[in-house]
Amino acid sequence: MNRSVFRGLGIAFIIWGAVILLSSYVGITGFTIVDDVGLQARSILGLVFILVGILLFTTMRAAPSRLETTIEHAPIHITSSVKQDPTIYRLAQDLKGKERIQHEINHLMKELSKGNENPGAGTDHLNDAGPVWYLRGRNGSRVFYIKHDEGYEVVGYADKTTEDRVINRLRNLYGQRAKERSKRVA
């Protein structure tokens, strides 16, 4: 239920409790709410209504909203190396004018910046491309990234028409780098 509904119920309970409590005093002639209940029971009933009203009003007032309940993390650092490779950059430029794809890429990036590595239609590891993973949007958009200790590095964007070319280029760039690194370590 909405927080304002609980506040309203809390206020209503407090008012009804006060009215029942006041009607339990014998000195007020003609003012009885609950006739067939004894004086002590009316006092207890009035106090219970007031306490329930206070409880509803205060606890629901302090209850966090959905946005406030999300886990707060330190800002996740996202960098982009898309412009560093001319092929990847040109393929990303091909997405200009495709508003639906651009909107979806922005959404995927926003979710990634929150630490959500599984927005849209899912996430998958790009085989033969070393550390590259990609986010898949429901409309065909793709965001390719590498996870680092300090955040994420976006290494490419694609839609269904450019996906194969971006994947091949990333495999050439990062698959080869991964092989070179493993040779140096060995």
> Which CATH fold would you assign to the domain 77-185?
YaeB-like fold (3.30.2310)
Mean pLDDT for the chain overall: 79
φ and ψ at 68, to 5 degrees? -75, -20
What average pLDDT score do residues 98-108 get?
91
pLDDT bucket at 67, cuts 50 / 70 / 90: very low
Tokens of 39: 């004086």
Minimum mean pLDDT range among 95-99, 155-159, 162-166, 172-176: 172-176
The yes-or-no verdict on residue 64 having pLDDT over 50 is: no
Cα 119 from chain centre: 11
pLDDT bucket at 130, cuts 50 / 70 / 90: confident
For residue 176, CA distances in Å to 6, 158, 168 come to 60, 21, 12
Q: What's the CA gap between 48 and 56, in Å, rounded?
A: 12
The pLDDT of residue 32: 53
The residue with greater pLDDT, 75 or 73, is 75
The yes-or-no verdict on residue 92 having pLDDT over 70 is: yes
The pLDDT of residue 37: 60
The two beta strands, 122-125 and 132-136, are: antiparallel
Tokens of 139: 């409309």
The residue with greater pLDDT, 95 or 62, is 95
What radius of gyration do the chain's Cα atoms show? 31
Q: Is the four-CA dihedral 148, 152, 155, 160 of positive or negative sign?
A: positive
